[in-house]
Chains A and B, each alone.
Chain A
């Protein structure tokens, strides 16, 4: 629907900005850059000689940050479910599916490449495995294989192909006539939806 309205305006802009705020906040809390700052302070503390207490406070602080980031990401997921707004895959790849931890390479998750084919002979069977350190949840991404399209796109294409094969024998004009009323119906539906929203 957003596409039909034109690229300039985005529907549900407040919800999108809410989602992006939540992600930004979580990224800010859960990212490694914060920890570096803490490292600096702990180094100072180390010089002072208060090793154990400093490391403890750092640990608890990072724990709090992680917990807060998890809260926010849980919220993010709940909102995207409620409003039926799709989170972009790039963002989704950085959130653990089972415990909602922000996945930072080397910090909260480890990633390895796995090849389960016989003797590892098939290079296209390489799979990137990202393992969350908090819950042990695993994400798998095929490295070589091309990404499959989202289901609606996939189905639309399949339907088109089917349609074409069916029509091949018939006249071309018939196909055009068949398609026009469908488009009309779609337009009407979207209009109706728009009025509902407003």
Chain B
């Protein structure tokens, strides 16, 4: 090749000279073809940066692995698969949940304190943030007539419905939408006055929950402020 540079040069130069002026042709030929540098190894990024990258990746990988080994809450799908929250039909018994209701009455009395005697206007804020698992609830009014009169202990308080176990050992799913729930809390301690008073004579603190306004998850209710306003649906 070295013996015939003019030939090769003449061909490329001829081609270049068709498009460029003679001075440009020689410049381009010299820069781009004659003295073209041949790269044997990519010079960017510099090798030092490469190793840093590798180290960072290794660290990331390690962290990821450590995180994967950490105990984590099961996903909802896994929970469903294990049946962690299922209540089988044979075990649906009112007696199981009756003590839960007694506990709940104690709890609601504790948070209300003296407000138990002052009426719902005062106690409303606390009741809206209270927990209703274990409360005895009765449907007093509803858009769906067949729902009226369902009475039982709340087993699950989900966003749009209460799951209620009735005294006839059935679990019923009562949607909150367009229903009023009545809750009764005996004001006197049941143990003290049971002998003297009949259940009808006992003084009760009775309040009603508007299901429409109550469509929140029970955990979200805990620090949510409810505004008093007129309901259009009444």
Contact = CB atoms under 8 A, between A and B. Distances in A.
B100 A18 contact: no
Given A15-B223, A29-B100, A139-B71, A63 B133 contact: no
Interface of A: 13-15, 17-18, 21-22, 24-25, 28-29, 56-57, 60-61, 63-65, 67-68, 70-72, 74-75, 78-79, 81-83, 97-101, 134-135, 137-139
B222 A15 contact: yes
B87 A68 contact: yes
B86 A67 contact: yes
B77 interface: no
Interface in B52-109: 71-74, 79, 82, 84-88, 90-93, 96-97, 99-100, 103-104, 107
Contacts of B126: 14
A67 B87 contact: yes
Interface string B214-232: 0001111011000000000
Contacts of B85: 67, 70-71, 74
Contacts of A137: 71
A14 B111 contact: yes
Contacts of A71: 85, 133, 155-156
B211 interface: no
Contacts of A68: 87, 96-97, 100, 155
B73 A98 contact: yes
Contacts of A57: 90-91
Contacts of A74: 85
Given A14-B126, A25-B100, A28-B99, A72 B133 contact: yes
Contacts of B90: 56-57, 60
Contacts of B133: 22, 25, 71-72, 75
Contact of B71 (A13, A18, A21, A138): A138
A34 to B, nearest CB: 9
Given A97-B72, A99-B79, A25 B219 contact: no
A18 B93 contact: no
Contacts of B91: 57, 60-61, 63-64
Given A64-B87, A70-B84, 12 more contacts: A13-B111, A14-B129, A18-B107, A64-B88, A67-B84, A71-B133, A81-B219, A98-B74, A99-B74, A99-B82, A100-B73, A100-B84
B198 interface: no
A175 to B, nearest CB: 38
A92 to B, nearest CB: 12
A49 B104 CA distance: 37
B152 interface: no
B222 A22 contact: no
B195 interface: no
A17 B156 contact: no
11 contacts: A13-B111, A25-B100, A25-B103, A60-B91, A65-B96, A97-B71, A98-B71, A98-B74, A99-B74, A134-B82, A134-B84
A97 B111 CA distance: 28
Given A97-B73, A99-B79, A79 B88 contact: no
